[in-house]
A and B are shown apart, each in its own frame.
Chain A
C-alpha cells in the first residue's frame, strides 16, 4: 500500500522520468499481484482492482457519535478509491482516563467491506503527550491510522479493507505508555446456532438436524460427524442415509434416516463465508424403545395395582354388609353401608332420613 504513494498525480514527465515511473509502476503492479501494466493515462492499479471488486457490496455501520475531521493521509484515499465499491463500516469505542477495564466490541462481518475503527479517549491531561498505537493480535501496525485531537478528546482511526480471512481478527488501539488503555475490536464471521440441548431420538427413526444463521447468508454449508475426536464429513457421497437440504439460504438441514445407536454423538455444521468459516453443533442421542417402555410399564403396573386394591377393598367392605339383605329397604341398607364403610367420619347430616325412609 505504501508503495502507491509515489504514484500520485503524475504530470507530463520527461522521458527518463517517464521510463523510471513506468518501471516503478510495473514493479508495483507485479508486487500487487496484477499481471497487466497499463499506460499512464489512468492509474492502472486502481482500475484493475475496481473492476475486480466491483461486485462486492457496500456496508456502512455508523455508530460513532461525532465525526471528527481528519486530514486524510494519501494512503487512506488511495485505499478508499481502490475499494470504493466496498461498503464502509464504522465502529467506535470510547474510553476515559479513569476506566481501567479494557473495552471490547464484537463486529460481525459477513462479506468483504471497508472497516473504519475509531477509538476516542477522553483525558484531562495533555493530549499530545499520549502515545497511540494499534495492534492486530500481537503484531504492531504501523500505518493506515490517523490521530486527531479535538478539545479534550483524542481520536484515532484505523481503516482496513477486509477482503479475506487474513484481515479478520482482533484489532486493538492503545492509549498511553505506562498506564495503557486498551480498546479492542473483534472482527468475526457471523455465528451459527445449532442446538444447545441434545436431540433425543429412537432407533429406527429419522431425525432432522438444523443449523441456522440469524441474519446472514453463507456461501455454502457442510456437515461433519465426529468419529472419535476427528471430524468426518458426511453427506458428501450422496446416499440415502444422509440428506442435506435447506429451505432458505440462512439455514441447513441434515436428515438422517434409519438411526442406530452408532449415530449417537455430536454433529457439526460449517458455514462458509468469504471471510472465513463458522460452525455450530447439534448433539444427537439415540435411545432404544425399551427406555420409555420400561417407565410406561411401571406406571401401568402401578395403576393396575391401585385399581385392583381399591376395588377389592370395596368388595370386602360390601361383603361385610351383605347380610343386611336387599329388597325394598334400599335406603336403610345404603345407610348401614355408609355407616360401615365410612368409619372415618359420619358427621354427614341425616336430616333426610326421616322423609326418605317414608318411601
Chain B
C-alpha cells in the first residue's frame, strides 16, 4: 500500500513469486476495463429496437462508460493512495455488478446511461488504475514484461467477450445477459482479492501512526505547517504537473490519442466501403486483435532487454511512429490481402504502443507516484479519446472518403511520436546532467540527513530515485539503470 507522500518509502519490489499471480489478477482487471465497453456494443442493435431510439443514442452508452472510466481516474488514484489497490478493485467489481444488474431492470435509455454508463464506468475505473499501480509495486526488474502481460488482457478479453455476449444474447435475451454479465464482472473481486498489498497488512495501520512518529524533526515541522495544497497533494499528487517527464508524456499522449482509436473503429466500415463483405471485414478486426494479443507480451519482453530498457522512451516513440506510418500507408491498400497485411502491422503497432504505454509512465515518475500520475493522465486523455472518433467520422462525412481520415490520423500520430522523441531526448540529457550534479553534491555533503532509502547511488544500480519529501520532489527522478 503506498503511503501518502511524506512517509517512509516503499519496500523493494519482489520481482517475482506472488508478483506473477498479481500480474494475472491485473490481466483480468485490465481486460474487463478495456474490453467491456467495446464488447457490449454487440447488444446495441437489438436494444435500439426495444427502447425505440436511434443507434447513436444507444452508442452513447459505450462512450459514457469509456468517458467515466477515464474521468474516474483521479478518484481511483486518491483511493488507491489511501487504501491500496485491493479494496478499490473489490469495490470496483461490486459497483460493476450493481451497475449491470440494475441495467437489466431499466426501462429507458437514460436509465441505461446511468446504470451501465456511469456506475459501471466508475467500477471499471476502480479496476484499471489499481491494477496498473500494483504491477508497478510488485515489479521493477521485470516490470516491462509484467506490464506487457497485464495489458495483454485487453485483446484477449475482447476476443472472448464479443462472441460470448452474442451467445448470451441468443440464449437469455438482453435482460438475462446483463444480469449474467453483472455476475461475471464480480470476478473482478476475485482479481482484487489476489492483489495482496506489498507491505504486510498489519503494518500499514501502525505505519500511518508510526510513520508520523518516526520521521525526523524536519518532517514533523513540515507536518504542522501543511498547507492546503500539500494536503491535497497527499491524496493526489498534483505536483506531477511540474514534472518535466510527466508533462512531455502527457502532451505527447494527448496528441497521439486524437488519432489512435479512430482507425480501429473505422476499419470494418472502410473495408466494406472497398467492397469487401461483412464477415471478411469483421475478420480483419479479429486478425488485428490476434496479433495484438501476442504483440503485447513479446514487446514487453523486448522492452525489458538490456539494450532497450534504458532507452525505453525512445522505444515508445518509435512504436508510436510505426503505428502512424502504418496509417499513412493504409490508403495504398486496395484489395483484401493488402488490408490483411495492414491489419497485421496495425495490430503490431497497436500492441507495442499499448504494452509500453504505462511502462513508460512508470519509468518517468516512479512506482510511488504512479497511481496519481495514471489518474491525472487518464482524466486528461479522456478528451482526445472521446473526441477522436467523432471527429474522424465527421472528416469521413465531409470528404466522402476514408483515406483522408487515415492520412490525417497517421499524420497526427507521427507528429505525436516526433514530439515525444524530441522531448524525451531533451529530458534524457537534462536528467543526465542533473544526475552528475547530484553525485557531486552528495560527495561534498555526506552529512546531510537525506533520508532516502533508495538514493540515486550510482555504485549500486538501484534505479528508483524517489524521495519522500512530499511536495519537495526532485524533478529529475527517473529510473534509467536496471
Question: Which residues of chain A have a CB within 8 Å of any CB of chain B?
Answer: 197, 199-202, 205, 207-208, 210, 285, 287, 291-293, 295-296, 298-300, 303, 306-307, 310-311, 314, 318, 326, 330-331, 333-334, 337-338, 341-342, 344-356, 358-359
Contact B183 A347 (CB under 8 A): no
Contact A291 B176 (CB under 8 A): yes
Contact A330 B16 (CB under 8 A): no
Contact B17 A330 (CB under 8 A): no
Cα distance A352–B198 in the bound complex, in angstroms: 15
The smallest beta-carbon distance between A264 and chain B, in angstroms, is: 13
Taking A310-B194, A326-B202, A341-B18 as contacts, is the C-beta distance between A303 and B173 under 8 angstroms? no
Residues from chain A with a CB closer than 8 A to the CB of B11 are: 330-331, 334, 356
Neighbour of A292 across the interface among B16, B172, B199, CB < 8 A: B172
Cα distance A208–B196 in the bound complex, in angstroms: 49
- The total of interchain contacts (Cβ-Cβ below 8 angstroms) comes to 135
The smallest beta-carbon distance between B447 and chain A, in angstroms, is: 16
Residues from chain A with a CB closer than 8 A to the CB of B101 are: 296
Contact B454 A201 (CB under 8 A): no
Taking A292-B180, A295-B180 as contacts, is the C-beta distance between A326 and B173 under 8 angstroms? no
Taking A287-B173, A306-B190 as contacts, is the C-beta distance between A348 and B49 under 8 angstroms? no
The smallest beta-carbon distance between B146 and chain A, in angstroms, is: 12
Q: Does B435 reach chain A (CB closer than 8 Å)?
A: no
Residues from chain A with a CB closer than 8 A to the CB of B239 are: none
Name which residue of chain A comes closest to B203, CB basis: A330
Cα distance A342–B13 in the bound complex, in angstroms: 13
Cα distance A303–B180 in the bound complex, in angstroms: 13
Contact B183 A295 (CB under 8 A): yes
> Please, what's the 1-or-0 string for B7-31, where 1 marks a CB less than 8 Å from any CB in chain A?
0100111111111100000000000
Name which residue of chain B comes closest to A352, CB basis: B12
Contact A354 B173 (CB under 8 A): no
Taking A342-B18, A349-B141 as contacts, is the C-beta distance between A334 and B199 under 8 angstroms? yes
- The binding surface of chain B is classed by DSSP as helix
Residues from chain A with a CB closer than 8 A to the CB of B16 are: 342, 345-348
Taking A208-B50, A287-B172 as contacts, is the C-beta distance between A292 and B17 under 8 angstroms? no
Residues from chain A with a CB closer than 8 A to the CB of B180 are: 292, 295-296, 299
Contact A296 B173 (CB under 8 A): no
Taking A334-B199, A338-B17 as contacts, is the C-beta distance between A291 and B453 under 8 angstroms? no
Taking A342-B14, A348-B14 as contacts, is the C-beta distance between A311 and B50 under 8 angstroms? no
Residues from chain B with a CB closer than 8 A to the CB of A300 are: 183, 186
Neighbour of B15 across the interface among A296, A311, A330, A348, CB < 8 A: A348
The smallest beta-carbon distance between A45 and chain B, in angstroms, is: 51
Residues from chain B with a CB closer than 8 A to the CB of A330 are: 11, 199-200, 203, 207
Taking A208-B50, A349-B141 as contacts, is the C-beta distance between A292 and B8 under 8 angstroms? no
Cα distance A307–B196 in the bound complex, in angstroms: 12
Q: Does B455 reach chain A (CB closer than 8 Å)?
A: yes
Cα distance A88–B97 in the bound complex, in angstroms: 62
Q: Does B187 reach chain A (CB closer than 8 Å)?
A: yes
Contact A341 B17 (CB under 8 A): yes
Cα distance A353–B460 in the bound complex, in angstroms: 11
Cα distance A199–B101 in the bound complex, in angstroms: 20
Cα distance A337–B198 in the bound complex, in angstroms: 10
Cα distance A77–B156 in the bound complex, in angstroms: 70
Residues from chain A with a CB closer than 8 A to the CB of B199 are: 330, 334
Taking A306-B193, A355-B455 as contacts, is the C-beta distance between A348 and B173 under 8 angstroms? no
Q: Does B311 reach chain A (CB closer than 8 Å)?
A: no
Taking A355-B457, A359-B453 as contacts, is the C-beta distance between A310 and B190 under 8 angstroms? yes
Interface residues of B in 355-375 (CB under 8 A from A): none
Cα distance A287–B176 in the bound complex, in angstroms: 10
The smallest beta-carbon distance between B38 and chain A, in angstroms, is: 22
The smallest beta-carbon distance between B219 and chain A, in angstroms, is: 14
Q: 7 extra interchain contacts, Cβ-Cβ under 8 A, other than A287-B173, A292-B176, A358-B453? A: A201-B173, A210-B49, A295-B180, A342-B16, A349-B141, A355-B455, A359-B8
The smallest beta-carbon distance between A289 and chain B, in angstroms, is: 8
> Can you list 30 A-B pairs, Cβ within 8 angstroms, ordered by A?
A197-B170, A199-B173, A202-B175, A208-B52, A287-B176, A292-B176, A293-B179, A296-B180, A296-B183, A299-B180, A303-B187, A303-B190, A307-B193, A326-B203, A330-B200, A334-B198, A338-B14, A338-B18, A341-B17, A345-B16, A347-B15, A347-B16, A348-B19, A349-B140, A349-B141, A351-B462, A352-B12, A354-B460, A355-B453, A359-B451
Q: Does B182 reach chain A (CB closer than 8 Å)?
A: yes
Contact B172 A307 (CB under 8 A): no
Q: Does B184 reach chain A (CB closer than 8 Å)?
A: yes
Residues from chain B with a CB closer than 8 A to the CB of A199 are: 173
The smallest beta-carbon distance between B278 and chain A, in angstroms, is: 15
Q: Does B399 reach chain A (CB closer than 8 Å)?
A: no
Cα distance A296–B460 in the bound complex, in angstroms: 53
The smallest beta-carbon distance between A101 and chain B, in angstroms, is: 26
Cα distance A341–B12 in the bound complex, in angstroms: 16
Taking A202-B175, A287-B173, A352-B462 as contacts, is the C-beta distance between A318 and B200 under 8 angstroms? yes
Q: Does B445 reach chain A (CB closer than 8 Å)?
A: no
Cα distance A287–B173 in the bound complex, in angstroms: 9
Contact A356 B12 (CB under 8 A): yes
Residues from chain A with a CB closer than 8 A to the CB of B183 are: 295-296, 298-300, 303
The smallest beta-carbon distance between A236 and chain B, in angstroms, is: 24
The smallest beta-carbon distance between B305 and chain A, in angstroms, is: 16
Residues from chain B with a CB closer than 8 A to the CB of A314 are: 196
Cα distance A135–B462 in the bound complex, in angstroms: 93
Contact B186 A303 (CB under 8 A): yes
The smallest beta-carbon distance between B128 and chain A, in angstroms, is: 19
The smallest beta-carbon distance between B48 and chain A, in angstroms, is: 12
